Amino acid sequence: MVVLMVYAHQSSGSLNAADKEAAVEALKDQGCTVDVSDLYAIESKATATAEENTGSCSGTAVCRTASCTTGASRFWLLRSSGLLSEARGAMLEGRRTRLQGVLEEKPLSFPPSACFDGQKGFQLKPEVHEPHAAMRTD
């Protein structure tokens, strides 16, 4: 299996860099070929300028984009500030362990939005729900 990892961090001494190395090692140990695309190494521009942002979009679209690109705290799960080195080591070991069985995991799948009834609070449409009800595993 070939795994593409997109990595973006400016410091090779960061927790993110250690996480990347741990993930690469764990995946290679399982027989994967790992290609890392380092956005800082290729000098990828991480921000969009006003000149590049052409066209128009609604306020909602701007907010949705901003929450993903400005580092909303819910997207930043790998913060290391304030952690003791022992805690960082434990986090890395936990992530390494988590990756040991990742290739055997059943991938998640989600129904497309067309399967939901917007007039009923986005409930799953009966014609979609009923055939799959017997497949529940909980």
Residue 29, pLDDT above cutoff 90:
yes
Lowest mean pLDDT among 2-6, 44-48, 97-101: 44-48
Both structure tokens of 20 = 């990347």
CA 129 to chain centre: 28
Cβ count within 10 A of residue 83: 13
Angle at 76 between CA 71 and CA 79, to 5 degrees: 120
The whole-angstrom separation of Cα 103 and Cα 62 is 36
Task: Give the HSE-up count for residue 123: Cα atoms under 13 Å, Cβ half-sphere.
Answer: 8
What does the pLDDT read at residue 63? 44
Predicted confidence (pLDDT) per residue in 60-114, tens digit: 444 444 444 444 444 444 455 566 778 888 888 888 888 888 888 888 888 888 9
d(Cα 89, Cα 15) in Å, to the nearest integer?
9
Place of tokens 């939901």: 116
Structure tokens at 109: 């799948």
pLDDT of residue 102: 85
DSSP assignment of 40-54, as one string?
Answer: TTTT---S--TTT--
Residue 16, C-beta contacts closer than 8 angstroms, at least 6 positions apart: 7, 9, 78
